Each structure stands twice: as structure tokens, then as C-alpha cells.
Amino acid sequence: MIEIRNVSKWYGDFQVLKNCTTRVDKGEVVVICGPSGSGKSTLIKCVNGLEPFQEGVVTVNGTSVGDRGTNLPKLRSHIGMVFQNFELFPHISVTDNIKLGQVKVLGRSADEAQERAMRLLERVGLVDQADKYPAQLSGGQQQRVAIARALAMDPIAMLFDEPTSALDPEMINEVLDVMVELAQEGMTMMVVTHEMGFARKVADRVVFMDEGRIEEDAPKEDFFGSPRGERAQLFLSKILHH
């Protein structure tokens, strides 16, 4: 489904991604972890073309992301993305946030979009907040709306960029629960996160990045059981004592 082959990216002279190769197959849940500055956020933003890259190939369902002829908006409409800072549009209501992409990108009718939006809000447990504005919601609620907004596009895959890093501890679980459900329903997911509990529960594979390189790429049991690299071991030991 998602293929990343030999991708390298530079910001000026600084190389932020070094020859990264990995894949996410249909229905797989891949967790990407690593210390800050390792390039994981940048890598995931290369998948839907938010960040350009100088070398390598990224394909989503056969379409090359870096190709000049690719219709990026169309490609992006098939991939859902959830951001660390939620990034709900503050000037429109929760429901309108979920409807915007459906109406303007997918061309659905307002009624159809409304119906879908309400269904998705129910799914994430926020139907009674439908008419509120993002600023009136807590962080955890906003992030759940953000997930609903991404799901409204009926994506073939979902990208999560540190979805719980900006949340207060007591709200992390409400978001993770939604993500676990998604994974169990068979959604293809690529998740950048520090939440190893989540990884242990639903991830199929774990990818460890450090300083722009993919150091480890192993099935979950192998990764948590006996990671090969020293850096990965160090990282795990630091965060697993949470």
C-alpha cells in the first residue's frame, strides 16, 4: 500500500532523512518511534507529499508521490492525516470541520456530508459537541474530532503524527482507544508515537529511527523482545519505564 524506497531529504546542507526504506501493507499498523530530531515527522509528511524529498521514491497504492505529474490533492484526499496539534479549523464548527473536505474535495452533497459527520461523531463519542467550535473543546476532544475529520474522507490509509504528544495525560487514553478500534477494524495505519503501550497492543511492525536513518524495522514481538541495535535498546529502556 505505502512504499518508501531509499528516500533522502535535505534542508539546505542538513540531511534530515538518510536513505530510508520501509513499507506498510494493506491492513498493517506500523508504529514509527525514535528520539526527537530523528526525522520521523518528516518521513511521515513525505508520504502524502506535504514535505518534498530530493532522492528516492514514495508510492501510495501504486501512485508515485514525488512524481511531477501526480495530482497531489487527489492523492491526499485518499489518505487521512492526524496532526500533533490537532489543527482543527478554528473558525468553523466541529461538524463543519468534518464536512469541509467531503463537500469541497469529494463533492458530496451537504446532506450526505452532514449525515456522515454525525455518524462519525457518534463513533468517536462526541455527538453532543456537534455544534461547538474547536476552541470550546478539550485537547482530547479536538483530537478525536480530527480523527473523525480524516475518516470522513473514507481514506485507504491513515497517517498519525504524534497524535497524543500535545495532550494532557488524562486525555491520552480517549484518543488511543479510538485509534485501537480503527486498527482492529483493519485500517492501514502509519503512526509516529512514543506510546509503546499502543504499539504493543495493535502494531504489526515497529520502525525505529535515529538521526534520519531507519535503524530497526521489525515485527512487534521481535522489537520488544530483543531489538538488535544498541541505539534502539537504549531508546526503549528510556521510555519503557513510564
Partner 1 sequence: MQYNWNWGILLQDPYFGWVWSGLGWTIATACAAWVIAFSLGSVIGVMRTTNVAALRAIGTAYVELFRNIPLLVQMFLWFFVFPELLPRETGMWVKRDLPLPEYSTAVICLGTYTASRVAEQVRAGIESIGQGQRYAGLAMGLTPAQVYRYVLLPVGYRIIIPPLTSDFLGVFKNSSLALTIGVLELTAQTRQIEEYTFQGFEAFTAATALYCLVTFIVMTLMRVVEHKTAIPGMISLEAK
Q: With binding defined as CB under 8 A, does residue 100 bind partner 1?
A: yes
| Residue 136 binding partner 1, by CB under 8 A | yes
Among 16, 24, 43, 81, binds partner 1 (CB under 8 A): 81
Give the angle 11-14-17 at the CA atoms, nearest 5°.
Answer: 75
Q: 113: which residues sit within 8 A by CB, 6+ positions away?
A: 98, 99, 102, 103, 152
Compare residues 18 and 132 and give the one whose CB is closer to partner 1.
132
3-class DSSP assignment, residue 22: strand
Closer to partner 1 by Cβ: residue 89 or 239: 89
Of residues 2, 116, 126, 134, which one binds partner 1 by CB under 8 A?
134
C-alpha cell, 83: 496532526
Residue among 149 and 231 whose Cβ is closer to partner 1: 149
**Should residue 224 be labelled a site residue for partner 1 when binding is judged by CB under 8 A?**
no
Subset of residues 174 to 193 that bind partner 1, contact rule: CB under 8 A: none
12/169 Cα distance (integer angstroms) = 37
Binders of partner 1 among residues 38 to 57 (CB under 8 A) are 45, 48, 50
Per-residue 3-state assignment (H helix, E strand, C coil) for 150-196: HHCCCCCEEEEECCCCCCCHHHHHHHHHHHHHHHHCCCEEEEECCCH
Q: At closest approach, how far in Å is the CB of 52 from partner 1? A: 10
Given candidates 38, 40, 58, 76, which one binds partner 1 under the rule CB under 8 A?
76
Residue 99 found at the interface with partner 1 (CB under 8 A)? no
- The residue from 5, 23, 123, 132 that contacts partner 1 (CB under 8 A) is 132
Rounded to an integer, what distance in angstroms lies between the CA atom of residue 205 and that of residue 63?
Answer: 23
Selected binder of partner 1 within 6, 36, 85, 109 (CB under 8 A): 85
Amino acid letter, 74? K
* Interface pick for partner 1 out of 69, 73, 169, 225 (rule CB under 8 A): 73
Give the other-Cβ count within 10 Å of 217's Cβ: 18
Dihedral of the CA atoms 91, 73, 209, 219 (nearest 10)?
Answer: 110
Return d(Cα 220, Cα 206) in angstroms, integer.
6
The only residue of 123, 133, 138, 197 in contact with partner 1, by rule CB under 8 A: 133
Q: Is 107 in the site for partner 1 (CB under 8 A)?
A: no
Residues interacting with partner 1, by CB under 8 A?
Answer: 45, 48, 50, 72-81, 83, 85, 87-92, 100-101, 104-106, 132-136, 149-150, 153, 159
